[in-house]
Structure 1
Amino acid sequence: MTPTQVVFDIGNVLVDWQPHLAWAQDMDRAAIDAFMQRIDFGALNLRADRGARFEDLADSLDDPADRARLKQYVPRYALTVPDRVPGTWDLVDRLIARNVPMHAITNWSLETWPEGLKVHPRLGEIFGTLVVSGAVGLIKPDPAIYRLFCARAGVAPEACVFVDDKRDNCEAARGIGMDAIHFTGADALQAGLTDRGLL
């Protein structure tokens, strides 16, 4: 089946996410990197994407300064997503003009999602079905989150082409029957969507 609908990842496909910017007003980049490595920010962020609260994650840290610093993350979240990814929103507008249904499956904390919408309000407007991992307790590449999306959207996996900057997330989408495009930039995405007759 030729896909008729596009399912986007959001972070680093539509919105440039730079978590270190939450602390750029307080520390230089080397100190921020050391802090993020010390607390294993990537692992904590994945727990938040699955539904944990950042305050609880912070309270699990041993060092009081690290605890206080991580608790700043949600209030400062808007600082971490200042920019759009170049070129992809032009493709979104072209898809809208062609009446191509668009959806999203995003690994995103339920706490930080509203903060991201303050900076990029169109994220709350352009998707027919949106699955935010922190709201459902599932994260990509768990096949269950793709199946949940299909159930909510009322679409067959084969009707969808999924776009994500992480190869393993694309492989998981293919595993349940979706087509997928590994996002490496707007030009390659444009070519992939054009090849599928969507642009």
Structure 2
Amino acid sequence: MPHTIIFDIGNVLISWDPRRLYNKHFATPAEADWFVTNITHLDWNEEQDRGRPVAEATDLLVAKHPEWETEIRMYYDRWTEHFDGAIDGTVNILKELSDSGDYRLLALTNWSAELFPWALENFDFLQRFEHITVSGEVKMKKPNPDIYEHIRENYELGDFSGCIFIDDSVRNCAAAEALGLEAIRFENPAQLRQALSERSIL
């Protein structure tokens, strides 16, 4: 029987997309998408998630693409404009699980240690978790196996039997499953509720 549920945060509980910021700056969504895909891309962003300081990351990228300095510096100068609030349907699921008292609730998020305090200050439902493992704090990130092993050891999760992992990333779910952690790839709150219902959790 499931006893522990591990949530991702970004795009599971809190809606995040840097295109929201760049859509305000560029003339077309296509230009914003190109910039996010090719300049401030996921690999660059995830190094901050693994602990690289935001200022260092910004300067490195400006040195590589000086013609885009204004847009690159905008990424963190206006970082909160990446967000569109809580994903209410998933927050409701989290609250139901918390109110039931039947499950350990943990979170595992790729997030800069410098920036995560903003989330804690602005989304009180995060207090529902027993603990939140922030990649930038532990200097590890999904989908690398070490961060899953970290939570296994720190929260005495054994062989992960009875644990459910919820994440919107295909590769993060695949990495979890390779280590024996049952994963639900999040698409939307209704789909997640159905998946949990099928497992007799909701």
Instruction: Give the corresponding residue for 1:149.
Output: 151
TM-score (norm 2): 0.86
**Which sections of structure 1, spanning at least 5 residues, go unmatched?**
none
Identity of aligned residues (%): 31
- Specify which structure has the higher proportion of helix: 2
CA contact (8 A) 1:59 1:67 kept: no
Counterparts of 2:16 and 2:129 in 1: how far apart (Å)?
19
Report 1:1-199 matches (<5 A).
2-28=1-27, 29-61=29-61, 62-64=64-66, 66-99=68-101, 100-123=103-126, 125-156=127-158, 157-199=160-202
> 1:160 is matched by which residue type in structure 2?
C
Q: Decide whether aligned partners of structure 1 residues 38 and 191 sit closer, same or farther in structure 2, where only a CA change above 3 A counts.
A: closer
| Per-residue CA distance 1:123-156 (angstroms, 9 max, x = gap) | 2x11112111111121111111111012222222
> 1:53 is matched by which residue type in structure 2?
P
CA contact (8 A) 2:113 2:135 kept: yes
Give how far 1:23 is off.
Answer: 3.9
**Which sections of structure 2, spanning at least 5 residues, go unmatched?**
none
Greater CA deviation, 91-100 or 54-63?
Answer: 54-63
RMSD across aligned positions (CA): 2.0
Greater CA deviation, 4-13 or 183-192?
Answer: 183-192
Task: Give the aligned length.
Answer: 197
Counterparts of 2:192 and 2:113 in 1: how far apart (Å)?
28
Counterparts of 1:192 and 1:31 in 2: how far apart (Å)?
36
> 1:14 is matched by which residue type in structure 2?
L
